[in-house]
Structure 1
Amino acid sequence: MSDTGVQARRSAVYLLDQVLGEGKLMSELLSAGALDNLAPEDRARANRLALDTLRGMERADRLLQKHLSKYPPLTVRNVLRVGTVELCQGGAAHGVVNAMVQLVSRHKSLGHLKGLVNAVLRKIAADGPEAWGQLRVPRLPKWLRGPLVQAWGAEAMTGMEAAHFAGAPLDLTAKSDPAAVAAATGGTLLPTGSVRVTDAGQVTAMPGFDAGDWWVQDAAAALPVTILDPQPGETVLDLCAAPGGKTMQLAAAGAVVTAVDDAPGRMARVRDNLARTGLTATLHIGDARAETGSYDAVLLDAPCSATGTIRRHPDLPHAKDGSEFGALIDLQAELIDHAWTLVKPGGRLVFCTCSLLPDEGEVQVDDALARHPDMTADTGALDRRGIESAWRTTEGGLRLRPDHWADRGGMDGFYIACLRKSA
């Protein structure tokens, strides 16, 4: 580990400063090159430290508050948080404490607090690891927890928070042969056909990556295309398509795919993924609401709060406060209405969001059914391998939550509905 791990830890603290102080998402920071100056090993470690600290921040703060009479500046607080999480995960006390002290001592305006960091982390090293496991599973911030408890109940919320704290394994979608991909990668074949890999390591080094045999996609995110059930030769429009997992699923099924997204950088990833997997789709960069045409089926993975992805992205509830959700809900309704004009008579629209909020799922479809007399919920489309009856919703959709498949490692939160246009 270069420079005794100080560079990776400094970068982890920088990510936390940006998330907790500036409201930035880690995905934005990483896309902007926040860790590009690090060696691959340090880059992976910085990312892991930041994610682990965000997941365990409530526990870290509870341990730290016993040793702090007042909160230090945010950067020092984040140094202490990272150090606490490392120590409580079994990190060697000498190495962790020295690295975090060194990190603060090199900071122009915070060097005078190196004694505080040293003293506090040595106390954490002594009593923290034992106390860590006795603390409750970290909870979501109140602004998000309240609506989710109201929607799903306290027991389900406890299960979801346990899934968030545990993080997520790596799920793969096979281009053609899930069993072969599972065998090659050492993964497990899930009931819905995805392959789940634990302790995967570097994705690009895994068997089958260069050959394009599979792509990374959470098992829940793979279900919208399963429910759409594309047939060879069907014309399918994939709206809000980036980064392209569903586009590749559609193409692999033999559909004639047009993929649309308004983000050029993200669409470049779609193009790269298609090239790697040897699949074909027509790509349009632009606003989905400006798209024209007539298609056998439309897939709309609408922009949403992404609250269903917190087990993978624990920064989200700390970087956001819910203030933008109203605008997203309005946009989803607008997108549904436009997408419906692109569906041929007798065709189908699959609407989905990676959200845990009913307003971005069940309520959207209830309202859409009321607005469009020629729209019905095709509940028969939900009769697919591995889909459990308990996931079905009253308006005819599918509700997936992180606490589902708890014994298998959970899944992302998703809402999916197949809407059929009358002939």
Structure 2
Amino acid sequence: MYFAPALAASRRPAMACFSCLFPYLGICPFKLPKTRYQLYYAADPAEFSMPDRKTPSTPTRLDKPLLRLETSGRASKPQPSDNSENRASKVPPSRQPASKNDANRPRRNTADAAGKGKAKRRFVRLLATTSLRHRGQLEKVLAPLVSRKPFGAQANANFVLLMGAAQILLLKTGAHAAVDSTVELMRQTGFDRLCGLANAVMRRLTREGEALFDATSHMDNLPGWLQQSWRHYWGVEKATAIAGLAMLPPPLDISVKADAEGWAAKLEARVIDHHTLRREFDGDPSLLAGFEDGAWWVQDAAAALPARLLGEITDKDVIDLCAAPGGKTAQLIAAGAKVTAIDNSRKRLDRLRRNLKRLKLPATLVLADGAAYTPEIPVDAVLVDAPCSATGTVRRRPDILNQREAEDIVALQQIQWNLATTALGWLRAGGRMVYATCSLQPEEGEDIIDAVMDAAEGRFAIDPVTPEEAGIFARSITDQGYVRILPSDYEDIGGVDGFFIARLISLG
């Protein structure tokens, strides 16, 4: 089955070059978040293939833990030797223990240094994500101030100007500091000849920037094809509201195994739906109480709904397809299911294993292409968290705004169709499949399920979601019994990720 979205493609250059702009700060370069799924392209659906997956002919069961050397970019400490003779003489002079004569030598305050390092990293991440989120508006502001944009070998200088504008207009950095840091960054990145340009543009921004920025819209940050799509499907008002929410830093949503009220009190959070907590937090979640003990995991409130819609699954055989990084897998196991988690990436499956180990939750992990996998016996339920454009998550992953184009949807639809139709064949009579995408594009949600039902020939039926099951998302249930979650419909709780969810049942 092949669906071609009638959308005009519009692509912006990728922003990966941001990562090369931060060494001057004295910290590791900021790495942009990577897209969760690799895209596979085909000019004709009949010629569709996935040449880079390297999937074995038969699924590889990971019965042994994957071993991987975790590095932090530093050389590991040498281990103590059994032979301690002359040990001190082998230590470099710079590492010899301090003598009594060194007692008065000033020492570096390591705690202060660590604190400053964390603050720098936090600022760099904030600067990068802010620049990504508001890229369209910032480019519109800079356009009349830069008569001739740097190009060719100097094209990356545009990103320096972009971040300088973000400091002045959005982060409200002091004018003097913003101008100086932008000029210095231009110099440190090798664009010495453009330092004068940076200085002039930044100074004009301090005077004229506010008025220019006020003339822009959040919609300017969306690529043209996405603007057209959202306006067409959701209307101008909702599309504008979704774009506005996407510009805000996301809250921290947490799924807990049990005792939601108790953990809400410990984490200074609030329960917003079932076992989902929410709190404002911009630091490292792993430092919060309960993380190391495996009491909870990070998961958007909307992302927690698909697994819940499988209903009562205690002691039932459930397959989680495209399982990594494992939030939904953890939900299924915590609900009492016997879970087989499938993913086609060893790296992602390794991450899933580590997450489940921390959470102390057991599952059978299978490395396989889901479209080519066959379980030994029919199963009670399947969760298909299908690869998608992820346009519902741009608030958390602003890089998507610059990495997706309309043609991606066409390639992804074939993958989604293959996974959904294959998974339905695994169900026993009365078994359920939940299909979900974190996309706001109906081509990846409603269109896929409608096409599946057209081809079902009475073997499967839509199992409508009820308001009681949907909880706070009851307002998103459609006439067909699907769930179509728009971030703008939940501004009252601070917004959520966009999702499409459908539940099907096997009639035997």
Q: Same fold per TM (> 0.5)?
A: yes
Shift of 1:11: 4.1
Equivalent-residue separation in structure 2 for 1:242 and 1:325 (angstroms): 21
- Equivalent of residue 425 in structure 2, options 330, 341, 363: 341
**Residue in 2 that maps onto 1:289:** 371
- Equivalent of residue 62 in structure 1, options 134, 140, 162: 140
The alignment partner of 2:355 has SS state of helix
Q: Which runs of 5+ in 1 are unaligned?
A: 16-23
**Residue in 1 that maps onto 2:447:** 363
Equivalent-residue separation in structure 1 for 2:262 and 2:216 (angstroms): 42
Q: Does residue 1:7 correspond to 2:89, yes or no?
A: no
Amino acid at match of 1:128: G
The alignment partner of 1:69 has SS state of coil
Tell me, yes or no, if the aligned pair for 1:267 and 1:285 is still in contact at 8 Å. yes
Shift of 1:132: 3.7
- Equivalent of residue 95 in structure 1, options 177, 180, 189: 177
Shift of 1:8: 7.1
**Residue in 2 that maps onto 1:310:** 394
Equivalent-residue separation in structure 1 for 2:266 and 2:157 (angstroms): 44
Amino acid at match of 1:412: D
Tell me, yes or no, if the aligned pair for 1:5 and 1:42 is still in contact at 8 Å. no
Deviation per residue, 1:380-419 (Å, 9 max, x gap): 4553252444312233210011212112211111100111
Summarize the alignment of residues 137-216 of structure 1 with structure 2, pairs less than 5 Å apart.
137-139=218-220, 140-216=222-298
The alignment partner of 1:386 has SS state of helix
Summarize the alignment of residues 18-167 of structure 1 with structure 2, pairs less than 5 Å apart.
25=34, 40-73=118-151, 74-88=155-169, 89-108=171-190, 110-129=191-210, 132-133=213-214, 135-139=216-220, 140-167=222-249
Summarize the alignment of residues 197-346 of structure 1 with structure 2, pairs less than 5 Å apart.
197-293=279-375, 294-346=378-430
Tell me, yes or no, if the aligned pair for 1:298 and 1:349 is still in contact at 8 Å. yes
The alignment partner of 1:313 has SS state of coil
In structure 2, the CA distance between the partners of 1:390 and 1:381, relative to structure 1 (3 Å rule), is closer
- Equivalent of residue 505 in structure 2, options 407, 412, 420: 420
Tell me, yes or no, if the aligned pair for 1:304 and 1:328 is still in contact at 8 Å. yes
Tell me, yes or no, if the aligned pair for 1:228 and 1:381 is still in contact at 8 Å. no
Amino acid at match of 2:462: A
| Greater share of helix | 1
In structure 2, the CA distance between the partners of 1:105 and 1:53, relative to structure 1 (3 Å rule), is same
Equivalent-residue separation in structure 2 for 1:197 and 1:130 (angstroms): 34
Tell me, yes or no, if the aligned pair for 1:138 and 1:165 is still in contact at 8 Å. no
In structure 2, the CA distance between the partners of 1:83 and 1:210, relative to structure 1 (3 Å rule), is same
The alignment partner of 2:218 has SS state of coil
Tell me, yes or no, if the aligned pair for 2:242 and 2:486 is still in contact at 8 Å. yes
Tell me, yes or no, if the aligned pair for 2:320 and 2:340 is still in contact at 8 Å. yes
In structure 2, the CA distance between the partners of 1:111 and 1:86, relative to structure 1 (3 Å rule), is same
Amino acid at match of 2:300: D
Tell me, yes or no, if the aligned pair for 2:164 and 2:202 is still in contact at 8 Å. yes
Shift of 1:213: 1.0
Equivalent-residue separation in structure 2 for 1:93 and 1:264 (angstroms): 48
Equivalent-residue separation in structure 2 for 1:369 and 1:382 (angstroms): 23
Between 1 and 2, higher relative CO (CA 8 Å, sep ≥ 6) is seen in 2
Equivalent-residue separation in structure 2 for 1:277 and 1:26 (angstroms): 24
Bigger CA drift: 386-395 or 126-135? 126-135
User: How high is the TM-score relative to the length of structure 1?
Assistant: 0.89
Deviation per residue, 1:251-270 (Å, 9 max, x gap): 01111000000111111111
Tell me, yes or no, if the aligned pair for 2:461 and 2:504 is still in contact at 8 Å. yes
Amino acid at match of 1:52: T
Tell me, yes or no, if the aligned pair for 2:389 and 2:404 is still in contact at 8 Å. no
Equivalent-residue separation in structure 1 for 2:274 and 2:444 (angstroms): 24
Tell me, yes or no, if the aligned pair for 2:356 and 2:362 is still in contact at 8 Å. yes
In structure 2, the CA distance between the partners of 1:388 and 1:219, relative to structure 1 (3 Å rule), is closer
Amino acid at match of 1:81: L
**Residue in 1 that maps onto 2:481:** 396
Tell me, yes or no, if the aligned pair for 2:466 and 2:474 is still in contact at 8 Å. no
Amino acid at match of 2:381: A
**Residue in 2 that maps onto 1:20:** none
Aligned positions, number = 407
Amino acid at match of 1:189: V
Deviation per residue, 1:51-80 (Å, 9 max, x gap): 100111222223222321121233111111
The alignment partner of 1:379 has SS state of coil
The alignment partner of 1:199 has SS state of coil
Amino acid at match of 1:125: T
Percent of paired sites with the same residue? 35
Tell me, yes or no, if the aligned pair for 1:10 and 1:103 is still in contact at 8 Å. no
Equivalent-residue separation in structure 2 for 1:9 and 1:322 (angstroms): 36
Tell me, yes or no, if the aligned pair for 1:173 and 1:194 is still in contact at 8 Å. yes
In structure 2, the CA distance between the partners of 1:11 and 1:72, relative to structure 1 (3 Å rule), is farther
User: How high is the TM-score relative to the length of structure 2?
Assistant: 0.75
Decide which structure has the larger Cα Rg and report it.
2
